[in-house]
Structure 1
Amino acid sequence: KSLLRLKPKGREHLRRLLNWEEFDEVRDSRQSILLDTLYESIIFAVGKGFPWVEVTKVVKFTEELLKETKGCSITEAVTILGNKLRDYQGQFNTTHLLALCDYFHNTFIRHYKLYQYVLGQDQEVNLTVTHLEVCAPPHPLPLAEGMDRDIWQLEQQMAELNMAEVQKRTNMLLLKEALHLEQEHKLQKTFLEVPEQPSRVLKREVRLCL
C-alpha cells in the first residue's frame, strides 16, 4: 500500500530525471505506459537488492530494449533480449543478470504483443470530459446548540399550528373581501336596472309689479 501511495511521486521524479516534458496521462497513453515500464523496472531492481549504480543501468537497459524491439516479431525480440544480456554481462553480477533475464521474460516477453500494440503505434483516444458539481454537506452545528428530540418535535407541531391559524385568518379575510365585492356588484347592477323618471317642467308665472 505504501508503494502505491508513493508511485505517483516516484513517477513524477523519474520523469524529471529523464528530462521529459510534462504530458497528459490520459491523452498520451504511450508516454504514460512507457514511464510506468521504466518505473516498474526500478522497483524490480531495488526490490532485488541492486546497488543504485546498477539500478540506473537497469533503466537504461529497459529503454534500449523497448526501442530496439519496436516493430519486431517475438522471436526477434527474444534474440535481441539475449544479445543485450550478454552485452551487459560485465555490468551486473551473475545473480543480478539472471534476475534481470527472468524479469523481462516474465513481463516484457510474456506480454510482448500488448507492449507492441501500445508502444509501437499511435493510439486514437476518444476522451469525454464531464464537469460535475459536488455540493459538500453543511457543517454540523455544535452539539451544545442542539435540543432534545421531543422538544424539537413539539416546536415543529406548534409551528404547524401557528401556520394553520395564519392560513385560516387569511382565508377569512379573502372571503370577506369577496362578499363585499359581490354586494357592490349587486348594488351597481340594481341601480342600472331602475328606469329613469321623466323630469317635470314647472311653469311659473311671474308677475312683475311696477
Structure 2
Amino acid sequence: MASIDTTLQDIFRMKRDDGIELMSRCFHWTEFDGDDKRQFLHQEFVYENVMYAVKRALPWSTVAQVAHMTKHLLPKFNGLKTSEVIRLVKDQLSQIQPRLSTAQHALLLEFIVKTYVPHQRLYQAVLSGKTGLKHVRSELVIETPPPPQPLCEGIDTVEWQQHQAQKGLLLAQSKKEAEITELKKKTEAQMMEKLQARLHNLPVKGTMSKQEVEELLRSFLQSQGEIIMESLMHEACLTEELLQLKLMQKSQLMDRHVANDPVHVPVATKIKKK
C-alpha cells in the first residue's frame, strides 16, 4: 500500500493529464479492456474523486482506499437508478478503514454522487456500450440583409428627419380634411332626415291654416338652423386645426430652405490683433 500512497502523492503534484496517465499504470483496467474511450472515462472518474479526497486532507492510506473503491464502483453503476447509486456509494464508503467521520463520509458521498448523477445518462451509455447517436440534420435557409445603397444615394440624418416630419404633417392634414368632408356629409344627412320627418307629419287629408303653416315652417327652419350652427362651429374648429398644420408645414419648408441656402450660412470671422 506504501507504493500506492507514494504514487498518489506524485499524481497530486502533476498536471491533470499527466496525473491520469500515471494513474492508468497503477491498476489493471480490465473492466473496459480494448475500449480506450471507456477506459479513459473510467480513469478520469477515479482521478477526480482521488483529487477531492486529497484536497479534503484525508490520510494517504484513506485516499488509496478511495482510489480502489471508485475504480471498482463505477462499473457497478451500470443499469442502476439514482437512488440505487446513492445506496451503493454509502455502503462502499462505510467499508473504508479506519472508519470515516460523519463529516468525511457526507463530503465524499456528496462529491461522488455530484460527479456521477448530473451526467448519469452519459455514464450509463458509456457503461452499457450503447453510445450510438442518431444525427438529425436540417438545413436552415439564412436570409442575409439586402446590400446597402451607395453612399452617394444616401440622405443626411437631419434631412431624413425633416422628410419624416413633412410626411407626418401631410398625413395629419389628409385626416383633418377627411374629417371636414365627413362632417359636411353628416350635416346634410341630418337635415334631410329632419325634412323627411316634417313631411311625414303633414296631414294626408284636409287643409292647414296659415298659422299652422307658419308654425310648421318656423319649427323646421329653427331645427335646420340648429343643425347648421352646430356643424359650422365644429367645422370652424377643424378648419383652424387644418390651418395650423399647414402653417407648421410651411414653417418647416422655410427652415429647410434657409438651412440649405449658402447665403444664410454664417461665416466665421477672425479678429486681427493690433
Give the TM-score taking structure 2 as reference length: 0.38
**Greater per-residue helix proportion:** 2
The alignment's TM-score, normalised by the length of structure 1, stands at 0.48
